[in-house]
Amino acid sequence: MTKFSELNLNPKVLKAIEEAGYESPTPIQEGAIPPALEGKDVLGIAQTGTGKTASFTLPMITMLARGRARARMPRSLVLCPTRELAAQVAENFDTYAKHVKLTKALLIGGVSFGEQDKLIDKGVDVLIATPGRLLDHFERGKLLLTGVQIMVVDEADRMLDMGFIPDIERIFSLTPFTRQTLFFSATMAPEIERITNTFLSAPTRVEVARQATTGENIAQCVVMFKGSRKDREASEKRKVLRALIDAEGEKCTNAIIFCNRKTDVDIVAKSLKKYGYDAAPIHGDLDQSQRTRTLDGFRDGSLRFLVASDVAARGLDVPSVSHVFNFDVPGHAEDYVHRIGRTGRAGRDGKAMMICVPRDEKNLADIERLVQNEIPRLGNPLQSATPPVDGTAEEVRKPAPRSRSRSSKSSNTPLPESIITEAVSEAGPVSAPEPKSAPEHDSSERSRAQQRNAASGNKVIGMGDHLPSFIALSFQERSAS
Ligand code: AMP
């Protein structure tokens, strides 16, 4: 097995890796670090949880340890789709550059930017940013990108989903042609392929296997659920969620509950809280301090249930989650893979449970096609005396045959009236009427992207989000030891 010490990394970086407790590189690190250190472009096809962040931070620190930053001209740039991911990348730099004198700045929305301006004025080695904020800053004349020697695009497929590709292309065109590019994406959609063909030069392609979605350590199941009446479905569905959680009992030490829409994230979190569950929401419309507080609580174990949208939860490093509940079937099959990958990490056992209403059956079929497996059906926990939730052969119902007629076969009988009456008003004032909203994206960032697209003639529909002032955050400069 390869050791980090064989990878030609700076000894001070090796020391920090050792202190972080890592011995051997993960496959993406083993594949990406050597070509990156040789100055080659890298195309990394890997998703979060594979160690991909260190696969670009470690060679970057090694390369940047030589040389000095110039005023307003960052030497390297890391682009991330969301604030949380950008902050996580910044944390990685803190961890691995602790023995190297490097300066960095973080340009993301929702945090004050005074000190970042000063840092950038002085010159930074690493600039970590979301695309919209970076361009805002650039347009204000505060920043020059002509000194960028290394540019990283992280989670490019998510950038695509969020409408950032025009921004990314613009940023590429503002950096020198001679820069080195390290580009990461979990999937290679045609648009991503086009970007890499345009902006990467003979990249070394490193692909690590998709996270196993049917791995033995992640038990999966889905409850096929139909509300007794359309207007009661939402509240009855929340009741099903609570029943699933209750049935798991102490086995469920902590969980991420995914909803497709921001409004549902809020409603589900509020409803759970009302019923005495320790839950908090996270999505792109919440202010940054609240998002940070919620995440910190979830990481340190003081918060048990994180109710999240895909964008907010994407890429978050939460080491041990016992359960993932998909309150909604995700609209993109790929998101199912990302969601359930939050549990069963590092070989631990995990459980992924999903609720599917009739209109989501097509999406469920897409997921099963993608993961090439049928997800075991589970009896409606509200209808069984002892809810069958352990995923054993006896308890789990056989999957419905893969056919167009599934929806009629899998529709469960309505809930008993007593349960319905209890459930109808349980989510408090936010539950009625349930607003329709688009699937969640980091709205302030996305709306900037949309504005730019509109300005450049690309039609983008929708928006209505406010544009919060952008801000940057200060990091302590670490001294060399
Ligand atoms: P990432 O895919 O970058 O989000 O990383 C996922 C997790 O893997 C993080 O908690 C890292 O700290 C951890 N990690 C990164 N590199 C290694 C390694 N070589 N060995 C073990 N864990 C690692």
Nearest CA to ligand 1 atom 11: 51
Mutation test residue for ligand 1: of 24, 53, 88, the one with most atoms within 8 Å of CB:
53
Residue 106, classed as helix, strand or coil, is strand
Burial class (CB within 10 angstroms; exposed 0-12, middle 13-18, buried 19+) of 467: middle
Residue with tokens 């972080």: 20
Q: How far is the CA of 255 from the centre of ligand 1 (A)?
A: 20
Residue with tokens 């539950």: 431
Burial class (CB within 10 angstroms; exposed 0-12, middle 13-18, buried 19+) of 1: exposed
Q: How far apart are the first and last CA of the chain?
A: 30
Give the span between the Cα atoms of 187 and 185, in whole angstroms: 5
Q: Are 133 and 41 in contact (CB under 8 A)?
A: no
Identify the structural domains of the chain with CATH numbers, from first to last: 4-207 (3.40.50.300), 218-386 (3.40.50.300), 417-480 (no CATH)
Write out pLDDT tens, residues 91-133: 999 999 999 999 999 998 876 667 778 889 999 999 999 999 9
Considering the entire predicted model, what is its pTM? 0.60
Task: Please give the pLDDT value at position 451.
Answer: 55
DSSP 33-99: HHHHHTT--EEEE--TTSSHHHHHHHHHHHHHTSS--BTTB-SEEEE-SSHHHHHHHHHHHHHHTTT
Q: What is the pLDDT along the chain (481 residues), one digit of tens a residue?
A: 789 999 999 999 999 999 998 888 988 999 999 999 999 999 999 877 788 999 999 999 999 998 888 999 999 999 999 988 999 999 999 999 999 999 999 998 876 667 778 889 999 999 999 999 999 889 988 899 999 999 999 999 889 888 999 999 999 999 999 999 999 998 888 899 999 999 999 999 999 865 544 456 789 999 999 998 989 999 999 999 999 999 999 999 999 999 999 999 999 999 999 999 999 999 878 887 888 889 889 988 999 999 998 866 666 667 678 999 999 999 888 788 878 878 876 667 789 999 999 999 999 999 998 888 899 999 888 875 444 444 333 333 333 333 333 333 333 333 333 332 233 334 443 333 333 444 454 455 555 555 544 444 433 322 222 222 222 333 333 333 3
10's CB contacts (< 8 A; 6+ apart) are 61, 62, 65, 100
DSSP 263-294: HHHHHHHHHHHHTT--EEEE-TTS-HHHHHHH
Q: Is the CB of 51 under 6 A from ligand 1?
A: yes
Determine the atom of ligand 1 nearest the C-alpha atom of 48: 2
Angle at CA of residue 222, ends 217 and 228, nearest 5°: 160
Q: Are 146 and 121 in contact (CB under 8 A)?
A: no
Nearest to 310 by CA among 152, 440, 116, 140: 440
How big is the chain by its Cα radius of gyration, in Å? 23
Q: Is the CB of 384 under 6 A from ligand 1?
A: no
Q: How far is the CA of 346 from the centre of ligand 1 (A)?
A: 10
Give the span between the Cα atoms of 329 and 350, in whole angstroms: 18
Nearest CA to ligand 1 atom 21: 22
Nearest CA to ligand 1 atom 5: 51
DSSP 391-435: --TTTEEPPPPSSTTHHHHHPPPPPPHHHHHHHHTTTGGGGSS--
Mutation test residue for ligand 1: of 6, 19, 22, the one with most atoms within 8 Å of CB:
22
Instruction: Compute CA distances 83 → 49, 94, 152, 441, 467, whole Å.
Output: 18, 16, 15, 12, 15
Backbone angles phi, psi at 115, to 5 degrees: -70, -30
Give the span between the Cα atoms of 140 and 145, in whole angstroms: 13
| Region at 422 (left for phi over 0; alpha for psi -120 to 50; beta for the rest) | alpha
> Which amino acid would we find at residue 41?
D
Tokens of 20: 């972080």
Q: How far is the CA of 49 from the centre of ligand 1 (A)?
A: 6
306 DSSP β-pair partners: 256, 280
Determine the atom of ligand 1 nearest the C-alpha atom of 49: 2
